[in-house]
Amino acid sequence: MQNRFMKWIVAALVTIVALPAPSWAAGYTQTKYPIVLVHGLFGFDRIGLVEYWYGIPAALRSDGARVYVAQVSATNSTEVRGEQLLSQVKQIIAATGAGKVNLIGHSHGGPTARYVASVRPDLVASVTSVGGVNKGSKVADILIGVAPDGSLSNAVLASITNGLSQIISFLSGGSGLPQNANAANVSLSTAGSLRFNQTHPYGVPTTACGEGAYQARGVHYFSWSGAKPYTNALDIVDPALALTGLAFGFAKNDGLVSSCSSRLGRVIRDDYAMNHLDEVNQTIGLTNIFETNPVTVYRQQANRLRNLGL
């Protein structure tokens, strides 16, 4: 009887050891390579007390991750933003001696991170696309249709958006960065994304709504996104996302990007009950209380990278 009891204890201990570490465990987010967060359209690192990645850097650092927040043009082409990011990646690697980085990009930050991985795969351990515009956005297509290049409406729209971009850049300390709303819109359109993907195809699904290569030229590719434009009645931005979400018809979307367009490499999920801003824990944490907290999803991804030795 005693022998049987001891066998049961040993089996229970083995089972406990085999379980994945809980999210509060020390070192849970401690990746081998630094994590670099790359913002999307109209993004910034911080304006006053408000972070673009609201509460996410601190949560990742709390259990060991080295986290850097990139600052690229609020509006510009993917290639211009990509070169800006590449410069910062080189600086981070020089400062840390890490050799590589893990890039996590939201929205336009997804293709921006992909650009760096494409031109310098030796510097990138992984790319994680969050609500990434990997095959274009119908919202960008509509804006191009309503305000085609060379039209008066385009000139007015460009003037307004470039001005807003300059204000965002100034307030966040990046006033030297060039802004070009038209170039950003073209990059985010379906046609612009297709052209970009022909030159930088790594991780992009070859089918309409499939998965892409999990690994290409030594770089691991991941993605996740939301699929619910309206999630919190207290968030003043949600009604606008519910409106822009109508552009996608019956296709799953987060208000600005369709679920199929967001898919890259290994798809963690493309149907979180989150909208495009929820994906970065905005507006100031007002997200869907019935869904996994966005901060937790980032911590889980850091742990996933850690377990892969990245």
Report, as residue numbers or ranges, the catalytic residues: 107, 254, 276
- Residues with Cβ within 8 Å of residue 88, at least 6 apart in sequence: 36, 68, 70, 71, 72
* Burial state string for 241-254 with b = 16 or more CB within 10 A and e = fewer than 16: beebbebbeeebbb
Task: Please check whether residue 45 is in contact with residue 70, taking contact to mean a CB–CB distance below 8 angstroms.
Answer: yes
Dihedral sign from CA coordinates of 71, 57, 114, 261: negative
Q: Which amino acid, 235?
A: D
A 10 A CB-CB count for 197 gives 18
A 10 A CB-CB count for 89 gives 24
What is the Cα–Cα distance from 221 to 116, expressed in whole angstroms? 13
Q: Which amino acid, 171?
A: L
A 10 A CB-CB count for 166 gives 16
Dihedral sign from CA coordinates of 120, 125, 130, 134: positive
Whole-Å CA distances, 152 to 148, 165, 183:
9, 20, 17
Q: Which amino acid, 4?
A: R
The three-state (H, E, C) secondary structure of 185-243, written as one string: HHHHCHHHHHHHHHHCCCCCCCCCCCCCCCEECCEEEEEEEECCCCCCCCCCCHHHHHH
